[in-house]
């Protein structure tokens, strides 16, 4: 009996003037989201002509971006050859700059971590910090080259993530959370000069959304909101399959919401709901190497003050989740961050009890790891190089 054709999630190709690059990206995206697919399945899913699809696959295979797999039966007729992304077809570097540490990750085309390194960075001195960052990135690239000779030429870019918001925020003092000394430094230009790579900067919440899109709960989703819990608080917005950054890179800076309606004050949400707020309240050194273990111990001991903080924070999260659900109507709201998994799970459980039993309103447990933002920073050049971007089709001239 003929097997039913499985549903394949893919964007449609186009025959417009910008079709070439867009159609390549559509094919790569379809394989990334669904796994290995045959030419016939890709043609059906993307609405591309079979010959166009075949030409794209041949080009991608020659470039080492896709690889043929073992033939499989797809109903009647001769076996079909599925094509998967070739992990070593491209690499991407991600750099997270945090308050006391910088983390560097290199991922391959399918999002697998090939190299990861970290180093303490000079706080308050961008000149000295820049030297440390350049050495960190170069060390990671050298390690990649040792593992995979000739990999340097396949690095597509460097993504950088750090706390936002970027630029002056009238009426709100954010210096504690934004590391203002880095914002006044020509970071992107200096990193491009030091590494020879194209560099793009985004806030840490957007990077966390990138990580979720590449390997997490947002994988394959066109619309999602990733609430990011780190030293501060933010939200990464995935809209129509792309991470939305806003005019100045400040989209989703929900941590800067003032808690006194009708006035701009220094009382902002992330002073209450964040690792920074938690550490300040319970006397935890945020720069301690074992911070996750210390926080986890406090959670497991069920200290009354910690339980009170979790309940209060869940109330704020439910409020935020309700706002983004009503405003953006996403497929999913995800809580992720550079926070202990136990804290993320506890907050999600308590928040969902407030949101009610409707599963479409409940939030999901996302990535929670010290390396989440660095992974998302590395995902950005992969997305920049290979994901479909419909805005490019609207360009003229």
- In sequence order, what DSSP letters do the residues of 362-392 get, joined into one string? S-EEEEESTTHHHHHHHHHHHHHHHS--GGG
Beta pairing partners, 158: 93, 199
pLDDT of residue 257: 87
Q: Is the dihedral of CA 161, 134, 215, 154 positive or negative?
A: positive
Is residue 103 within 8 Å of 147, Cβ to Cβ? no
Q: Do domains 89-206+376-385 and 209-369 have the same CATH topology?
A: yes
Q: Measured between alpha carbons, how far is 290 from 276 in angstroms, rounded to an integer?
A: 15
User: In this structure, what are the phi and psi dihedrals at residue 375, rounded to the nearest 5 degrees?
Assistant: -60, -45
* Cβ atoms of residues 377 and 191 within 8 Å: no
Dihedrals φ, ψ of 337, to 5°? 160, 180
Write down the pLDDT at residue 173.
46
Q: Answer yes or no: are the C-beta atoms of 31 and 84 closer than 8 Å.
A: yes
The pLDDT, as a whole number, for residue 172 is 47
Q: In the block, which residue shows the tokens 């995935």?
A: 238
Mean pLDDT by 10 residues, the chain (397 residues): 62 61 92 93 92 95 95 76 96 92 96 95 83 96 96 96 73 53 86 96 94 93 95 93 88 87 75 92 87 92 92 96 94 95 96 91 94 96 89 54
Q: How far is it, in rounded angstroms, from Cα 249 to Cα 49?
A: 38
Enumerate the H helices of the chain as residue ranges: 19-34, 39-46, 50-62, 126-147, 175-178, 180-183, 187-195, 204-215, 275-282, 291-300, 304-328, 341-355, 372-386
Number of H helices, E strands in the chain: 13, 13
Find out whether 13 and 43 touch, Cβ atoms under 8 Å. Answer: no
Domain coordinates in residue numbering, the chain: 19-85, 89-206+376-385, 209-369
Distance CA 107, CA 122 (A): 26
Phi, psi of 239 (to 5 degrees): -125, 125
Q: In sequence order, what DSSP letters do the residues of 295-326 get, joined into one string?
A: HHHHHHTT-HHHHHHHHHHHHHHHHHHHHHHH
Q: What is the CATH number of domain 89-206+376-385?
A: 3.30.420.40
DSSP bridge partners of 229: 233, 337
Q: How many CB atoms lie within 10 A of CB 57?
A: 23
Round to whole Å and give the CA distance between 68 and 382: 21
At CA 268, angle to CA 266 and CA 271, rounded to 5?
Answer: 105
**Could you report the per-residue pLDDT of 208-240, keeping only the tens digit for each?**
999 999 999 999 899 999 999 998 999 999 999
Q: Which of 183, 229, 201 is nearest to 337 (CA)?
A: 229
Token reading at 214: 């590449």
- Cβ–Cβ < 8 Å for 177, 231: yes
With beta carbons less than 8 A apart as the criterion, state whether 171 and 264 touch.
yes
- Per CATH, which fold does 19-85 belong to? Arc Repressor Mutant, subunit A (1.10.10)
Report the CATH number of the 209-369 domain.
3.30.420.40
């Amino acid at each position: 009996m003929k097997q039913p054709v499985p549903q394949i999630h893919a964007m449609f190709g186009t025959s417009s003037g910008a079709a070439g690059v867009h159609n390549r990206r559509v094919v790569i995206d379809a394989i990334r989201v669904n796994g290995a697919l045959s030419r016939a399945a890709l043609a059906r899913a993307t609405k591309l002509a079979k010959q166009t699809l075949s030409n794209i696959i041949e080009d991608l295979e020659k470039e080492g971006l896709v690889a043929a797999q073992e033939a499989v039966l797809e109903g009647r007729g001769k076996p079909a050859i599925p094509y998967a992304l070739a992990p070593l077809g491209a690499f991407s570097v991600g750099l997270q700059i945090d308050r006391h540490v910088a983390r560097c990750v290199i991922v391959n085309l399918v999002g697998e971590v090939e190299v990861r390194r970290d180093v303490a960075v000079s706080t308050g001195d961008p000149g000295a910090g820049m030297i440390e960052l350049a050495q960190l990135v170069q060390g990671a690239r050298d390690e990649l080259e040792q593992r995979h000779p000739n990999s340097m030429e396949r690095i597509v870019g460097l993504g950088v993530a750090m706390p936002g918001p970027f630029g002056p925020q009238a009426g709100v003092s954010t210096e504690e959370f934004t590391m203002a000394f880095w914002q006044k430094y020509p970071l992107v230009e200096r990193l491009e000069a030091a590494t020879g790579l194209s560099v793009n900067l985004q806030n840490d919440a957007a990077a966390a959304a990138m990580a979720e899109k590449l390997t997490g709960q947002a994988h394959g989703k066109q619309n999602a909101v990733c609430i990011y819990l780190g030293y501060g608080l933010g939200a990464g917005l995935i809209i129509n399959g792309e991470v939305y950054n806003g005019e100045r890179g400040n989209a989703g800076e929900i941590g800067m919401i003032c808690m006194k309606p009708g006035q701009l004050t220094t009382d902002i949400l992330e002073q209450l709901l964040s690792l920074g707020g938690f550490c300040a309240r319970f006397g935890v050194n945020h720069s301690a190497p074992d911070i996750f273990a210390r926080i986890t111990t406090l959670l497991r001991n069920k200290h009354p003050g910690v339980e009170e903080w979790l309940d209060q924070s869940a109330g704020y999260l439910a409020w935020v989740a309700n706002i983004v659900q009503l405003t953006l109507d996403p497929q999913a709201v995800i809580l992720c961050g550079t926070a202990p998994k136990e804290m993320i799970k506890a907050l999600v459980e308590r928040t969902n009890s407030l949101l009610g039993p409707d599963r479409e309103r409940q939030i999901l447990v996302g990535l929670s790891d010290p390396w989440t933002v660095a992974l998302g920073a590395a995902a950005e050049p992969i997305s920049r190089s290979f994901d479909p971007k419909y805005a490019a089709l609207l360009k003229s001239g």
